[in-house]
Amino acid sequence: MAEANTTIAVEQYLHELAAVSGDTPAEPIIRALLSRSVNRLHTLCAALLHRNYPRLTRPPLNLQSEEMLSAVVERMIKALREVRPGTVRQFFALANQHMRWELNDLARKLDAHTQAIELRESAVGAPPPGESSASPSGPSIIRILEAIDELPEEDRETFYLVRVQGMTQPAAAEVLGVSTRTVQRRVNHTLRLLAEKLRDLQPAARRSP
């Protein structure tokens, strides 16, 4: 019921935003829209952060979902001054995009910071046996997300809602305006495409000569 209420409220605010013209300020509607959808946005931020970028939650960043939400809301305020999503689906697709951009920016900064530390340490000496400062999970995660971004739009959007953000298939179907069976078909198709694109990241493939 809460999912349905949020969807209806967001839809109403989007209609109001689309009707803004002339000297009518859009800012109050934008802020009301984001305030009404903040719980769902927070859930999506937390799911994406902890499932796909857990290293950002550890030192040195110690990123919290609330901090990420704040950054995404700021991004959305700026974006909605220029962009007018016509549907709930388009609104959450825009939010999805800015969540990925925010986390990718942070991941790149962390990788650059880590590489700088490794270069300084390499000038002092090699790490003790059995220890390594390398972090293969960072590049791998970015590679996976880049592969997802290259998917056809419908498959990508559905996959993010269900497998990345943890939305149920019926809830995703409601947001996307399709049947639950269509959602299931798109997710299965996307998993096959990603398995093909990312074969070299699979353990068996990395062990092969």
Which segment, 22-26, 69-73, 101-105, 204-208, is predicted with the most confidence on average? 69-73
27 Cβ contact list (under 8 Å, min separation 6) = 81
**124 alpha-carbon distance from chain centroid:** 38
133 Cβ contact list (under 8 Å, min separation 6) = 114, 117, 118, 121, 127
CA distance 53 to 114: 15
Q: What is the pLDDT of residues 24-83, one digit of tens each?
A: 889 999 999 999 999 999 998 998 898 888 889 998 889 999 999 999 999 999 999 999
Q: Contact, 95 vs 44, CB < 8 A? A: yes
